[in-house]
Structure 1
Amino acid sequence: MSHATFLNRQALYLRPDTARVIVRPFKPATEPRDLNPTDKTRANHIVERVLALDPKIAASLLADVLENFQGRHRNLLETFEARTDVMEQALAAHGPFSSVQRQLIGAYFLNEYSFEASALFNPSIVPHPDQSDAPRGGLRFILSLRAVGEGHISSLTFRAGTIAADGSLTVDPTARLASSPRVKLRIPKPDGDEIELTFNPDEELSERVIFPVTESQSNGIEDARFVEFCDGGRKTYYATYTAYSGKAIRSELIETCDFLSFRMSPLRGTAARNKGMALFPRKIDGKYAMIARQDNENLYLIYSDDLHQWDGGQAILKPQFPWEFVQIGNCGSPIELDEGWLLLTHGVGPVRKYSIGAALLDKNDPSKVLARSVEPLLHPEPSEREGYVPNVVYTCGAMRHNDQIILPYAVSDTYSNFATIKTAALVRAMS
């Protein structure tokens, strides 16, 4: 059966928007290594210049800064103050500041960052925790997206949308502003800090941007695979993602119940040293289960009693068809069907062309592969071949609703779109 008979592209495009900005700490370039330790740093020079301003000129300058930037950010004066608070120890030698001086100094040590200027891609989708506004027979959903800006730094952002009773999709308008969370808690641990982040409830979902906050994430939070996890009637949203320091990668975990507060922590074990881990939406035989690819080529099934510790595993899927000869990987958490676990996969073929396929795993023993798609379900159409990374379609997670699979997918590592798949036809099409 041709994929065209059961897959429908939606033309619901989510493209990067350079106008969406957050403020990030600005740190002046480091001084030469032979600088005398008693010499003043560039930061001290900046502070001294601000303190030397006539109070009226300082107030006028601050007013000009606000006129230029206040409409682009929430609570900008508070942000300036918070930046100065972080620098308090370094600034102590300068003595007390007036509130205008504090706010102005904070402004000098911040810069705007267009977090999705280059790309908005690799989405995953889960049911919204609040279904109070869902249409009859429909569903509200949350979409996570990988945003890439200057320096190829990846962050995590969100959208909300609706699936109507007839299966049609809409995505809510994107907020004009964007905001970073407050670090509520930081727990140092041998394997890396555990972080708790919280957003202001007044901020719309699409305002919320999780930017790297630890050393392991410093060059990117990549490819979050969100899943609604059910355990004894309690629902928690988990996402595995790749933390990139600029030198090394590892898998980490996000946990949230409301998409307002997030806990981020490193994963441990031999299987967590690579990319592309995806958690099953429930325990199997009392254990957590994960799909992973610790050898860069095959897909493994791993069980664990500890959500943060992942070792070993059993290879269950290897490259078999020409469109996946280079490697295969998962495209998000398995989706539970009556027939078994539907696992979306990506395959890499000639000229590094990425396509999306599927496998059906036994519901009681996911190490048993019941069926696989011989041909890709989704591959780059001619209009989808151009972008930051050409010839790629990719997803970090789909969702079942009624008789279809809702599949958000990325196009050439640049923008995102949606497809819907008729579930029964897909199962019949796999061999």
Structure 2
Amino acid sequence: MIKKRTVKKSQELKSSLPVGFMADKNGAGLLFKTVDPGQPELYLIRGKTGLRFTQPKTKVEIVTALRQKAKIGPYQHLAVSACDKGYFMSFIQKGKTADSLVGAVSKDLKRFSITGKISKVQERGTLVPNYKLNGKYCIYFGQGSLKTAFSPDLKKWKISELACLAPRSSYFDQASLTVLMAGLTSNGILVVYDCSYKQNGRQTLQIGGALFSLSDPNNLIWRSEVPLWEELRDIGSPELYPLGAVSLNEEILVYFTTKAGEISVLTIHQPFPSVRAKKVFASLKRFYNNPIIVPNEANDWEADATFNPAALYDNGKVHILYRAVSKGGLSSFGYASTKDGLNIEKESIELSYVPREEFEGIHTRPSQRTDLYKSGCGWGGCEDPKLTAIDNKVYLTYVAYNGYSHPRIALSTIEREDFLNKQWNWEKPKLISAPGVVNKSGCILPEKVKGKYVIFHRIFPHILIDYRDDLRFDDGRWLEAKAKITTRPGMWDSRKLSVGATPIKTEAGWLVIYHAVDDRDDTRYKVGAMILDLKDPAKVLYRTTNPILEPDEHYENEGKPGVVYPCGAVVLGEELFVYYGGGDRVVCCATAQMKQLIKSVKKDKAVSYQLKKVVCS
């Protein structure tokens, strides 16, 4: 739970506007200027905790190189850092044609002498306090991407050519970055930045963090995978603007203000207590000879696309059931097998499951069909299979689509012996999800839990879980949502997620390979992993903070761009094989060492901090 706190201004401060913050060994300081239309004045008021500013205010003067009092009216975004010359202030000077970042030094916080403009910088910046590298001071600045600049005397600055921190596609900080603070830690230089954005009339506030090497301030050694703090503002609530941030008493204080000058303060407790220079994320390695199954014009039933493969290991082979789309757009399932998990036995390929029911579109007229890409790249049939072996039966769950109504989950079964002998004696399929609702990604857990069958399914946007006494579905009840696994706001799986492959039992728990979409990158499907409790599959023990596979290869962007869509996974020896559809057109495979993947998923914990509410007066 994230909480915020508001700084109450005294009657004396109500006719003023906050313009910046600072912190040193004596506590925090709030810089504010009066709103006198004639000649605004700048003041500093101190507070030991950064939450209560109650000490007497001190007037602050800024003088030019000619020792004339500067007019502070156009000065914004003041940031003060301690250094060997006393204190260094950076601020934005608003200009008629362009803004400038300006520097000034002071020995006593009462009188600052302007040292000049910081090269051609127009964005806000902050000096790394009490820090020099080879005799040079360092400042971080920017709005969009962040850069560094170095100076031997705080007067002449040289800007680094390349950005040290840029927005990241598919992450919470894909919007413009604004530096709020730079501070020293035992692990490196900590940079706190704002990456808030506004969409559909609602403001989302987000704070990120990054750590740079003490020996090279451009060398990024750590970056937060999730926001250090995030809040979705209500429509109509006052918009908040970032004032700055300070490090004080092993906490980060982040300050926001409204246009009216009201200040909100956020505390991030014990920042970065154990940051590691390197973090190994779970990932999958693509087969070098991908794709492993491609459309075949010689077979009409698989001439247009072959993708989204289910997989089952039995009797020394990996058995693959993949979605195949005919020239006419009807989806059915093809069969293929492989002994090593990668190289398909070409002679094994054959049609294994065809639409047979009205709800699969066998009598749908062309005039009834809707957009091809409403459900993959076909207009109807049997789509996106999942296979589960229980006892001597193989259960097939899939999406049944007639071309015009809501796609629903269907179930069919076959005897194990018939399946292995490729005698496709499938039972009559039945719909198991409710009408009038799009429900996909149905999948049955390979074992009962507490005497119940466990079925995963997806009604936008979450994974839903049902528990049933049997799998006959003859009681008139549709799939229900007795539990769910939710999306994660601000992360790569924030928009929607579904179980991809049938879960695999491990000592750590049920390994689930899943696919998801990000609100900020909603045209790309990505793959992640989670581990569920063996005795309570609704309980997520571990979950990757980053995708383990993204649609970056050309064959994942031809057909329908930006799709990696797993439907099957098996374990061969010590290795995990994940089978997925690439670009809604081809079948691909990616692998990982099972022990290493489990280890990485268990260690992959997002770093985030909570805030408590206080009121300052």
Coarse TM-score class (shorter-chain normalised): 0.5 to 0.7
Other-structure match for 1:367: 538
Aligned to 2:404: 247
> Do structure 1's residue 158 and structure 2's residue 367 form an aligned pair?
no
* Helix, strand or coil at the partner of 2:568: coil
| Residue from 411, 427, 432 that aligns with 1:268 | 432
Contact conserved, 2:555 with 2:586, CA < 8 A, in 1?
A: no
Task: Give the match for residue 358 of structure 2.
Answer: 215
Tell me the amino acid that sits aligned with residue 330 of structure 1. Answer: V
1:211-241 deviations in whole A, cap 9, x for unaligned? 2111101121001111222xxxx33211110
CA change 1:269–1:353 in 2 (3 A) is closer
Matches within 5 A, 1:10-21: 10-13=288-291, 14-20=293-299
Question: Which one has a larger percent strand, Structure 1 or Structure 2?
Answer: 2
1:389 — aligned with what?
560
Q: Does 1:329 align with 2:498?
A: yes
**Conserved? CA contact 2:408–2:434, under 8 Å:** no
**Aligned-pair CA distance for 1:362:** 0.5
Amino acid at match of 1:238: Y
In the alignment, which residue of structure 1 is the partner of 2:85?
A: none
Residue 269 of structure 1 and its aligned partner are, at CA, apart by 5.0
Counterpart for residue 125 of structure 1:
311
Alignment check: 8 A CA contact 1:10 1:418 kept: no
- Partner amino acid for 1:367? A
Cα distance in structure 2, aligned partners of 1:123 and 1:263: 20
Distance 1:285 1:7 in 2: 36
Q: Which residue of 2 aligns with 1:237?
A: 394
Matches of residues 116-195 of structure 1 in structure 2 within 5 Å?
Answer: 116-128=302-314, 131=315, 139-163=316-340, 169-174=342-347
Q: Is 1:416 the counterpart of 2:601 in the alignment?
A: no
- Counterpart CA distance in 1 for 2:574 and 2:453 is 27
Tell me if structure 2 keeps the 8 A contact 1:252–1:264.
no
* Counterpart Cα distance in 2 of 1:5 and 1:306: 36
Query: For the residues of structure 2 that align with 1:5 and 1:288, how far apart are their CA atoms?
Result: 30
Quote the Cα distance in structure 2 between the aligned partners of 1:414 and 1:332.
18
Deviation at 1:320, TM superposition (A): 4.2
Match of 1:225 in 2: 386
Shift in Å at residue 273 of structure 1?
Answer: 5.7
Q: CA deviation at 1:398?
A: 0.7
- Tell me the amino acid that sits aligned with residue 300 of structure 1: L
Instruction: Evaluate the alpha carbon distance shift between residue 115 and residue 363 of structure 1 in structure 2; reply closer, same or farther with a 3 A threshold.
Output: same
Structure 2 SS opposite 1:145: strand
CA distance in 2, matches of 1:374, 1:11: 28
Tell me what 1:278 maps to: 443
CA RMSD of aligned residues (A): 2.1
Do the aligned partners of residues 207 and 384 (structure 1) sit closer, same or farther apart at CA in structure 2, a change above 3 Å counting? Answer: closer
Q: Is the 8 A contact 1:299 1:316 kept in 2?
A: yes
Letter in 1 for 2:309: P
Tell me the equivalent position of 1:183: none
Q: Distance in 2 between matches of 1:15 and 1:406?
A: 18
* Aligned residue identity for 2:413: E
Offset from partner CA, 1:54-81 (integer Å, 9 cap, x none): xxxxxxxxxxxxxxxxxxxxxxxxxxxx
Distance change (3 Å), C-alpha of 1:4 and 1:278: closer
Partner of 1:293: 458
Supply the distance in 1 between the matched residues of 2:470 and 2:575 (Cα, whole angstroms): 33
Deviation at 1:366, TM superposition (A): 1.1
**Distance (Å, rounded) in 2 between the aligned partners of 1:2 and 1:123:** 29
User: How far apart, in 2, do the equivalents of 1:360 and 1:235 lie?
Assistant: 27
Contact 1:11 1:418 in 2 (8 A): no
Q: Distance in 2 between matches of 1:3 and 1:120?
A: 30
Q: Residue deviations 1:267-317, cap 9 Å, x none?
A: 3354986111110011111111011112x1011221011312522321123
Greater relative CO (CA pairs within 8 A, separation 6+): 1
SS at match of 2:301: coil
Report the CA distance shift for 1:409/1:3 in structure 2 as closer, same or farther (over 3 A): farther
Runs of 4+ in 1 over 4 A off after TM superposition: 1-6, 269-273
CA contact (8 A) 2:283 2:548 kept: no
The 1:143/1:353 distance shift into structure 2, 3 A limit, reads same
Do 1:220 and 1:243's aligned partners in 2 also have CA atoms closer than 8 Å?
yes
Say which of 306, 319, 332 aligns to 2:488.
319
Asked if 2 retains the 8 angstrom alpha-carbon contact of 1:6 and 1:425, the reply is no
| Pairwise CA distance, 1:387 | 1.8
Hey, what's the Cα distance between the residues in 1 that align with 2:280 and 2:427?
A: 43
1:5 deviates by 6.4
Q: Contact 1:298–1:319 (CA<8 Å) still a contact in 2?
A: no
Mark the CA change 1:171 to 1:385 in structure 2 (over 3 Å): closer, same or farther: closer
Tell me if the contact between 2:287 and 2:342 (Cα under 8 Å) persists in the aligned partners. Answer: no
Q: Give the Cα–Cα distance (whole angstroms) in 2 for the partners of residues 6 and 344 of structure 1.
A: 11
* SS at 2:328 equivalent: helix
Point out the more displaced range, 247-256 or 363-372: 247-256
Distance 1:254-1:269 versus aligned 2 partners, 3 A rule: closer
Structure 2: 5+ residue runs without aligned partners? 1-278, 362-379, 606-617
Task: Supply the distance in 2 between the matched residues of 1:385 and 1:314 (Cα, whole angstroms).
Answer: 33
Structure 1, gaps ≥5 residues long: 21-113, 132-138, 175-204
Match of 1:191 in 2: none
Cα deviation, 1:20-70, whole Å, max 9, x if unaligned, reads 1xxxxxxxxxxxxxxxxxxxxxxxxxxxxxxxxxxxxxxxxxxxxxxxxxx
Secondary structure of 1:396's counterpart equals strand
TM-score (norm 1): 0.63
TM-score (norm 2): 0.45
Give the drift of 1:382: 3.6
Identity %: 28
Residue pair 1:240, 1:251 contacting (<8 A) in 2 also? yes
SS at 1:419's partner residue?
strand
CA distance in 2, matches of 1:298, 1:118: 31
| Distance of aligned partners of 1:273 and 1:265 in 2 relative to their CA distance in 1, 3 Å threshold | farther
What's the offset of the Cα at 1:346? 0.6
Give the drift of 1:208: 2.8
Quick check: 1:270–1:312 contact (8 Å CA) kept in 2?
no
